[in-house]
Structure 1
């Protein structure tokens, strides 16, 4: 198995909002992304790190998929949360991605609007991050871009149950993620970081090449719920390689 970047910060994120009860950060004002590294020593990597996410994918090397990737998303989520910075849907350790037989368990997925990672300067209106962790704490994020189009029926239960108050938690169980993942999987891959403080590096990113669709109303609802854009600006690549894995 080709080596995948490993996360050194084992237990730093089971949600998109690490340090939720610690130093305060935001997407606007004095605690906005350009100042994250100044808020706390715990966030130093946000400004000092050399392998930060998100990125603008402008150049990449195309290669045959080096892994056997299997998505086992048969399990249903347990909880949907408005944590004040995103809408997060949490899982028990029953859903996973297997890469050459090595399992990364889905802990949660959440949304950023507009998208965080860019493709040749193009920014999609919505990006979904599926956060996985293996038994040793190594992190892998599968990211999916969404363009405006048809109503996304698979994610519709998330939208219908979407909490409208910060801190509100709602049970949601009928989300069939297995139907969301296309049969033909081409991915951009790069080694990066969390896109929220403490910006821990060593996170392996797999971004689905082709965007899926959500409706204009679905985009509008999540933006109204978030009340502000929750995307971190793109970070320098610093000579990192981006590869496009093509499934044959």
Structure 2
């Protein structure tokens, strides 16, 4: 298994994208560029340990007790609510906002968690992974961000490790934009987010937060335990544009991580 045993915070660490809050996900393309005025980063005076001091709205980043990401080690085996994906094809809408590579998804796709429907808004990537598995980070992590009619968020995480070329990802990577903050709409390319999921396996579930400011809590996290493989070249293509965009792990603070199917 290709993992990164320790996490470093190099000087070239990059910013990430704000994925939205339970009150305002920015369900469509608006979310792609939100957060620039906040001037937060992954290093130095604007790094993760200072996020809570940068702006009043970011207070949870410092004081919150239900923050993400976390180390998923020791998940208690449990019978979990069903996780049913209903992802449809979508034309490729991709943006490099200087923080991450994000794909904005066409309306109509969703996931049902215990019968509750959450609509897929977008997915994006982190390198290295933000969640850990038994003290180790993977090469990358995919986050699929969903929102229900009450404004509640559910995020499905997928670990990514170095291996063979991933054909579905290659369709996306073939249109990685170098220009920042300009969404590219590639109508000739159709993608399906389901193609980025592992074939089968268990998942970790817990209650957490956004992993970027404003660090809003109450996010339902579902991290699939089986990683998908992408090539070293595909990993480097992402890092060339984004470099480093992973928040350190946070304490569980009495929260339970459940493991099941």
Is the TM-score greater than 0.5?
yes
How far, CA to CA, are the matches of 2:135 and 2:105 in structure 1?
33
- Give the aligned partner of residue 81 of structure 2: 67
Matched, 1:195 2:211: yes
Superposed CA RMSD in Å reads 1.9
Match of 1:216 in 2: 232
| 1:102-117 correspondence to structure 2 within 5 Å | 102-117=116-131
Query: Which range moved further: 21-30 or 146-155?
Result: 21-30
Moved more, 191-200 or 95-104: 95-104
C-alpha distance in structure 2 between counterparts of 1:25 and 1:92, whole Å? 29
Q: What does residue 23 of structure 2 align with?
A: 10
CA contact 1:18–1:198 (8 Å) conserved in 2: no
Question: 1:112-191 residue pairs with structure 2 within 5 A?
Answer: 112-172=126-186, 173-191=189-207
Aligned match of 2:107 in 70, 93, 102?
Answer: 93
Give yes or no for contact 1:188–1:209 (8 Å, CA) kept in 2. yes
- State yes or no: 1:52 paired with 2:70: no
Secondary structure, counterpart of 2:37 in structure 1? coil
Structure 1 gap segments, 5+ residues each = 1-6
State the alpha-carbon separation in 1 of the partners of residues 51 and 185 from structure 2: 32
**Partner SS, residue 155 of structure 1:** helix
In structure 2, list runs of 5 or more residues that go unmatched.
1-19
CA distance in 2, matches of 1:201, 1:169: 28
Q: Does 1:41 align with 2:19?
A: no
Q: TM-score, normalised by structure 2?
A: 0.85
Aligned partner of 1:84 in structure 2 is: 98
Q: Would you say the 8 A contact 1:17–1:85 is kept in 2?
A: no
Aligned residue-pair number: 238
Offset of residue 178 of structure 1: 2.3
Where does structure 1 differ by over 3 angstroms across 4 or more consecutive aligned residues? 12-19
Measured after TM superposition, the shift of residue 27 of structure 1 is 1.4
